[in-house]
Structure 1
Amino acid sequence: MLTSVKNAQVKNWAKLKMKKFRMKTGMFLVEGEHLVTEVHHSNWEIEQIIVQNGMDAPEFAFDYSITIVAENVFQHITDTRTPQGIAAIVKMKEQEWVDPHTVLLIDSVQDPGNLGTMIRTADAVGFDAVIVGGKSVDLYNEKTVRSTQGSLFHIPVFQEKLSVKIPPLKEKGFAVWATTLDQAMSYKDVPVTSKVALLVGNEGNGVDGSLLDLADYNVKIPIHGQAESLNVSVAAGILMYHIKG
């Protein structure tokens, strides 16, 4: 059992809280029995399972390399206030692009909860893929991963430069819908074609102007109350469900 936060292995696990170290190692940490179970039931690879001393591990955990750690060590490497006593080190995965028909494009979203919720919703709706632009919060941020509730492991999510990715999508017959309040039409008035890429933007500034120029339709969701706007993840959910019918 590992009992010291000064242990070299423990130090490396703790460094996974930093994006730079995650990218260097190609690893990230997931915490909690639900998320660890979701990884187990996916085609992602678990490198290591970490269990807090005295906590019960699910039966499948014994299919992997397990390290038992003291409570102080587990709290040191994890991010939540009330850890559940189980975590996993997971290898980042190169996703496969398989002829999608519905794609969510995410530009410069900074809140990990919003990013994770949109990935979760895209999975629930039945979208085929998600592309996260380079200016968005890190996909493997612990709060992002937690907010996906496991959907990260079940829907292809790519990290790409959107200005490079959108033109090939259009060449393949995708209609690009960009969310904006300026010179936009109600989403209900836009024809839903067989291939749609939905582009949503930053919480405060919306979609970048250079990306708006690439869109086929500027769309908005009518607001009937006093709110100035909708949360980006809520708006994305409404539009994705509409697109999928």
Structure 2
Amino acid sequence: MADLLITSPANPRLKALVALRRRRTREETGTTLVEGHEELTLALASGVRPQTLFVCPELFSPAGHAGRQEIGRQEDLVAHARQLGAEVVRLNRTAFEKVAYREGPDGLLAVVPAVGRALSQLDTDDDALLLMAQGVEKPGNLGAMLRTADAAGVSAVVAADPVTDWGNPNVVRASKGTVFAVPVATATTVEALAWLSARQVRLVVTTPDTDRLYTEVDLTGAVAVAVGAEKHGADDTLLDAAAYRVRIPMHGKANSLNVAASAAIVLFEARRQRMAGAG
């Protein structure tokens, strides 16, 4: 059976696709968007089964030896998605650029099931390294933290009282698809703290308002590194629950780093300590 071809940007299916950029629509449909070869490859490798894959061969890599290799990889991805049961819909360039949310789209956009799970569904080891992000507003920051979490071997990331959702296309883009590779959950701060306490996970919260450096605490064993919102940082509920409040030394004019950078520094210190202990 031939793939459906859509050429009109006014097609109702494309309007429904654009609507998935809104959080309310994502929550109502239980789906989200993934755009780009790299992000889709990681999503599929992580077990995601796309519902629909929209493709535009006109936007595949240009001619030339390297270009032909890239086109081959993109066509392989389309074939893989089809094997997983995805409907494949072909769009012309005008129609695809109507629905694409990235600059310089590569001709691949999929509708996939919503990402995220309940805290009770997170399966963590006794010495798990976790990341908790409280009240983070910017999708780019949440996505960047996911890339770090994946690289640092974090067992799960919990968004506490988040302003954005895991399925935000800009979270997916900034995470390079790692939102599908790292277990993620959403909860209130109170729920997240109760969950950590029940599992005897020590909470380490970053804040500039402490004398203790992040390198001065034991980050091995079951530990959750927590960062607060971009503007105000961790709130009193989170700070009061901390086993340790730690700061990153600042030698310039500013008194703090971007929240994603702060998370990266502390998480990789935790990874360094764990590798040193294993050696």
Common fold: TM-score over 0.5: yes
Match of 1:46 in 2: 50
User: Alpha-carbon deviations, 1:34-74, whole Å to 9, x = none?
Assistant: 11111221112211110115345422312232100122221
15-24 vs 35-44, greater mean Cα deviation:
35-44
Q: How does 1:16-27 map to 2 (within 5 A)?
A: 16-27=20-31
- The answer on whether the counterparts of 1:184 and 1:217 sit within 8 Å (CA) in structure 2 is no
2:228 equivalent to 1:201: yes
> Residue 82 of structure 1 corresponds to which residue in structure 2?
104
Q: Which residue does the alignment assign to 2:131?
A: 104
Match of 2:66 in 1: none
State the alpha-carbon separation in 2 of the partners of residues 182 and 199 from structure 1.
15
5+ long unaligned stretches in structure 2: 61-70, 273-279
Equivalent residues of 1:201, 1:232 under 8 A apart: yes
Query: Mean alpha-carbon deviation: is it higher for 35-44 or for 119-128?
Result: 35-44
Gaps of 5+ in 1: none
Give the Cα–Cα distance (whole angstroms) in 1 for the partners of residues 166 and 206 of structure 2: 21
**Residue 87 (structure 2) aligns with:** 65
**RMSD (Å), alpha carbons:** 1.6
User: Matched residues in 2 for 1:128 and 1:14: separation?
Assistant: 33
One-letter amino acid of the structure 2 residue matched with residue 213 of structure 1: D
Q: What do the CA deviations read for 1:166-203 (whole angstroms, capped 9, x no partner)?
A: 12312322110111112341112212241101110111
Q: Which amino acid aligns with 2:12?
A: A
Determine if contact 2:116/2:184 at 8 Å carries over to the other structure.
Answer: no
Higher helix share: 2
Moved more, 81-90 or 179-188: 179-188
TM-score by length of 2: 0.83
Q: Give the greater-gyration-radius structure (CA).
A: 2
Which amino acid in the other structure matches residue 145 of structure 2? Answer: M
- CA deviations on 1:100-137 (whole Å, 9 max, x unpaired) are 41110001111111110101101100010000123332
Query: In the alignment, what sits opposite 1:225?
Result: 252
Q: Distance in 2 between matches of 1:189 and 1:204?
A: 26
* Conserved 8 A contact 1:33-1:86: yes
In 2, distance between residues paired with 1:85 and 1:113?
Answer: 22
Matched residues in 1 for 2:77 and 2:253: separation?
50
* Secondary structure of 2:6's aligned partner: coil
TM-score by length of 1: 0.94
1:92 corresponds to: 114
Letter of the aligned partner of 1:16 in structure 2? L
Displacement of 1:218 in angstroms is 0.8
Question: Is residue 115 from structure 1 mapped to residue 115 from structure 2 by the alignment?
Answer: no
Cα distance change, pair 163–196 in 1 and its aligned pair in 2 (3 A) = same
